[in-house]
Each structure stands twice: as structure tokens, then as C-alpha cells.
Amino acid sequence: MPERPAEPTGVTGISAGATGSGTSGEPAIELEGIWVRFGGLQALQEVSFSAARGEVSGLIGPNGAGKTTLFNVATGLQRPERGRVRLLGREVTRMGAHRRCRLGVARTFQRLELFWSLTVEENIRVAAEAHLHRRLRGVGAGLLRGNASPWNGPSDGGLRRHPRSQTTASTVARILDRTGLTGLATERVDGLPTGTARLVELARALATDPVVLLADEPGSGLDDADASTLGSLLRELASDGMAVVLVEHDMGLVMRTCHRVTVLDFGTVIASGKPSDVRSDPAVQAAYLGAPGVEVPAR
């Protein structure tokens, strides 16, 4: 399969905060030597992983390899036994999920976690509002300190910029438009098909104006055409300056979309690199085909 280059698409950014404020290739989130144990099961063992702004990083592996656990560690829903998590160079290992979100981590869930009794629009709005709320707090704190440019809010360590004009309503409208959900805005999400519901989760994550977007199997439940559109959207988001991490079982989507791929198996990293290299890696093939050893005899 041909490798598509990560061309910048120049679409109007959803993530205005991310646009231009980061250099492509700079690691946005770094997980270092992560260990997680559930009872007798070592779910993650000395796993290191990082994702750079401007790139889509794939995270693949057989079921139970520890991908979602790694997401939980990255977002703060699971505390690691050992290891460190850094966000834009800042240590966040002991920080709770909602504070990490304020620093720019957003995610979607493999098992859908939508706000089922709200509409599509409200699902996105509630995230945008939570985000606006803390942005205003940042402004207040900035003004108190006599900060010349309050939008470089000290609450987020001056890491991100926000244009003054951005209001919740326009953010929601823009995200609805970009994810193609405008027509479903007033629908309650509990009636939506799974594929569309996953799109709503993605839209909701974008409403928090993330620097790092962790997408957990966003493609499952989508047909090929929709999956392909999703792939382009993820690449666009990356080219806007976001660090996108994609967990996915659809290998076609992963290979087309990702700039780099990391493979997990039984809680350890077994390969990492460009999609084409990873694909031909014998260890990866063994993990996926279930062969006992790496070396497959030629005879």
C-alpha cells in the first residue's frame, strides 16, 4: 500500500490554540517506562511511547495488548505503578484526569462514553463550556498579574494561545461543521448508529481544544468510505499542530493515516517506526499471526 505523505491541508483550524504555536515534531506527550498491574496480570511492562505535534502516531497490537490501558495512563484515569508521564515537557504523572484535560489532553473511548441523554450539539457544547470556563479563569489570573497578553494564560503555563473572538457557540458550530455532524445537531445521541456516535465523541474531544488527541478505535463501526474520511480528518488535525494518537484495528486505516506506528504485545513494545517498516517486522507478524518465535524457517 502506498504511503501518503503528511501534506498540510490548510483547512481552517478547529484547534486554533494549537495552530502555529507548536513546532511539528516536538514531542507533546511522553510516557516513560510505564508499568501497570491488574492483580496477577502485568498489563504494561516498561512501556515507553511518545507522540509528536504535527503527526498521527499509531498504536496497534492484538486484543489485550494494553493499548487502552496506556490511554488510561496518558489521560490520568489509571495511575501507573512505575514510570512517568510528561505533557509538553511538564511532569503530570500524579495529576488527575480533569486537570490534564486543562493542559490539553483529550480522548475518545473504545467503549462509547457519551452523554446519552444530551443532544449531539449539547455533547460538544458541554465540553466547549468546560474549556471556556477555565480559559476565562486563566484570563482573570492573567489580568491580576498584569500579564500583557492574558490569553497566554498562566493557568496553562503559557503553553497555548487562544484568540479573543472564539466563543462557545462558534466553536461548537465549527466543530459540528468539520466533523459533518451539523445535520444531526439536535438529535439525542442514544439513537445514533455506533459509527456516528464515535464521531460525536471525537467532536466532543476536539471541543476541549486539545494539544494531544487520543482516539481509541474511532474507526470501528464505520464503513470504508467513512473510515477514509476519518483518516483524512485525523491527518488534517495533525497538520494543524495537534499530536494525534490512533488506536485502531483497521490496519488499512492505520497504515494510510499514521506517520509512525508503535506495536504493543502482552504489555510490551515490540516494534516502533514507520508504518512500512513495522509491517514487515517479523516480530510484529509473529504477534499477529500467533507464531511462537520470531524466526520463521524458510524451508
Partner 1 sequence: MNEFLALSVVGIVYGAVYAITASGLVVTYATSGVFNFAHGAVGMVAAFSYWELSVNLGMPVLASLAVVLLVEAPVLGLVVERLLARQLHSASTERALMVTLGLMLVLVGIASTVWNPETERILPGFFSMDSARILGVNVSGQQMLVVALAIAVAVALWGLLKHSRLGVAMRAVVDDPELLAMAGASPIRVARAGWILGSMLAALAGILLAPLVTLDITTLTLLVVNGYAAAVVGRLKNLPLTFAGGAALGLIQSWAVGYMPQSWQSWLPGIRTALPMIFLFAVLLILPQDRLRAIGRVVTNGVPRVAGLRESVAGALALVVLAAVAGGLLSGTAIATISQGLVYGIIALSLVLLTGYAGQVSLAQLTIVGVGAFVMGKVDGGGSWFGVLAAVVCCAVLGALVALPALRLKGLYLALSTLAFAQGATYVFFDNDHVFGSGGSIAVGRPAIAGISVSSAHTEMTVLASMFGIAGIAVLAIRRSALGRRLVATNDSPAASATIGLGVRTTKLLAFAMSAGLAGLAGALYGGLQGQVGANDFGLFSSMTLLLLLVICGVRTVSGALVAGIGFAALPVLQSHVSWVSDLVGLVTGVGVVLVGRLPNGLFGSSPVHRRIEARRLARVYTSDPITADVIQDHANA
> Least distance from C-beta 184 to partner 1, angstroms?
6
| Contacting partner 1 within 207-266 (CB under 8 A) | 207-208, 225-226, 228-229, 232
> Least distance from C-beta 76 to partner 1, angstroms?
8
DSSP the chain: -PPPP-----PPPS-TTTTTTS-TT-EEEEEEEEEEEETTEEEEEEEEEEEETT-EEEEE-STTSSHHHHHHHHHTSS--SEEEEEETTEE-TT--HHHHHHHTEEE--SS----TTSBHHHHHHHHHHHHHHHHHHHHHHHHHTT-S-TTS-GGGTT-----TT--HHHHHHHHHHHHT-GGGTTSBGGGS-HHHHHHHHHHHHHTT--SEEEEESTTTT--HHHHHHHHHHHHHHHHTT-EEEEE-S-HHHHHHH-SEEEEEETTEEEEEE-HHHHHH-HHHHHHHHT-SSSPPP--
Nearer to partner 1, 126 or 251 (CB): 126
- Which range in 62-70, 141-149, 205-213, 258-266 contacts partner 1 by CB under 8 A? 205-213
Task: Check residue 21 for interaction with partner 1 (CB under 8 A).
Answer: no
Nearer to partner 1, 106 or 271 (CB): 106
Nearer to partner 1, 75 or 272 (CB): 75
| Contacting partner 1 within 73-92 (CB under 8 A) | 75-77
Interface mask toward partner 1 for 121-150; x: CB under 8 A: -xx-xxx-xxx-xx----------------
Question: Applying CB under 8 A, which of residues 37, 86, 161, 188 lies at the interface with partner 1?
Answer: 188
Q: Which residues bind partner 1 (CB under 8 A)?
A: 75-77, 96-99, 101-102, 105-107, 109, 112-118, 122-123, 125-127, 129-131, 133-134, 180-184, 187-188, 190-191, 201, 204-205, 207-208, 225-226, 228-229, 232
